Amino acid sequence: MGNKTFIVEIKNLFKSYRRGNQILPVLKDINLDIDEGEFLALMGPSGSGKTTLLNLIAGIDRADSGTIIVGGIEITSLSETELAGWRAYNVGFIFQFYNLIPVLTAYENIELPLLLTSLSKKERREHVEIALRLVSLEDRMDHYPGQLSGGQQQRVAIARAIITDPTILVADEPTGDLDRDSAVEILGLMERLVHELGKTIIMVTHDPRAAKMAHIIMHLDKGVLNANPQNHY
């Protein structure tokens, strides 16, 4: 084996939660490598630790032990402030409930992550317009989330996720709150991000149809990652 580098490298990862005096292990000795441009689906029953693993990869939760390296940076050793800065440039988030800011328009929601960059207003506008075109929502840029359908809101969320051209995209049940047609539309869009833009996507899902769109499906059960991934290439 050569010295192949992965976009995500996870080694001996443990995570537990404390409930009262009880310590509940959630992830047990997770080892996982993800290639750049990969579309990975994480499946498993409720409480298996899928979202926890996704949160750890995205740097919004802390592991008990083990290391996570994303894009060559060991994020498990970063401070909270460093992690916040790292997330701003390296992770795009797609949530089940879209998590758009209701008082901001589609345009303003997409622009939000760019406010942390040094881009000028004009440059930010250019970026947002490209992202809006990509998700085919140019004509809805001045609409508020409440004026958009679920599918449209999720497209805005995807545009917001890719606006900073992050290293990885993490999606937690991105079709969980959508009807069948909208779900197909969103999954198609995510597939385009992988194929056309070379994005790396790690998606947590319960939906086998959604998982089928991914290149690799991995199963988590009681905090243990299945050693035999399903390859859809």
Partner 1 sequence: MQILKIITKNALRHKLRTFLTILGVAIAILAFGLLRTVISAWYAGVEASSASRLVTRNSISLIFPLPLSYKDKIRQVDGVKLVSFGNWFGGIYIDEKNFFANYAVEPKGYLTLYPEITIPEDQKKAFLQDRKGAVAGRILIEKYRWKIGDIITLKGTIFPGEWDFVLRGIYRGRDKTVDESAFIFQWDYLNETLKKTTPLRADQVGWYMIGITNPNLAADVAVRIDKTFKNSLAETLTETEKAFQLGFISMTEAIIIAIKLVSFVVIFIIMVVVANTMAMTARERIGEYAVFKTLGFGGWHIARLIFGESLLISLIGCILGIVLTFPAADIFSSSLRTYFPVFNVATKTIYMDIGASVLVGSVAAVFPTWRAIKIRIADGLRRIG
Residues in contact with partner 1 by the rule CB under 8 A = 51-52, 55, 58, 60-61, 81, 84-89, 93, 95-97, 99, 101-104, 108, 111-113, 115-116, 121, 160, 177
Nearer to partner 1, 73 or 112 (CB): 112
DSSP sequence for the chain: ------SEEEEEEEEEEEETTEEEEEEEEEEEEE-TT-EEEEE-STTSSHHHHHHHHTTSS--SEEEEEETTEEGGG--HHHHHHHHHHHEEEE-TT----TTS-HHHHHHGGGGGS---HHHHHHHHHHHHHHTT-GGGTT--GGGS-HHHHHHHHHHHHHTT--SEEEEESTTTTS-HHHHHHHHHHHHHHHHHH--EEEEE-S-HHHHHTSSEEEEEETTEE-SSPEE--
Least Cβ distance, residue 95 to partner 1 (angstroms): 7
Nearest to 30 by CA among 49, 46, 45: 49
Nearer to partner 1, 135 or 216 (CB): 135
Least Cβ distance, residue 216 to partner 1 (angstroms): 25
Nearer to partner 1, 82 or 138 (CB): 82
b/e code 27-52 from CB counts within 10 Å (16+ = b): bbebebebeeebbbbbbbeeebbbbb
Least Cβ distance, residue 160 to partner 1 (angstroms): 8
Least Cβ distance, residue 3 to partner 1 (angstroms): 31
Nearer to partner 1, 72 or 85 (CB): 85
Least Cβ distance, residue 63 to partner 1 (angstroms): 12
Least Cβ distance, residue 167 to partner 1 (angstroms): 13
Nearer to partner 1, 103 or 197 (CB): 103
Nearer to partner 1, 60 or 184 (CB): 60
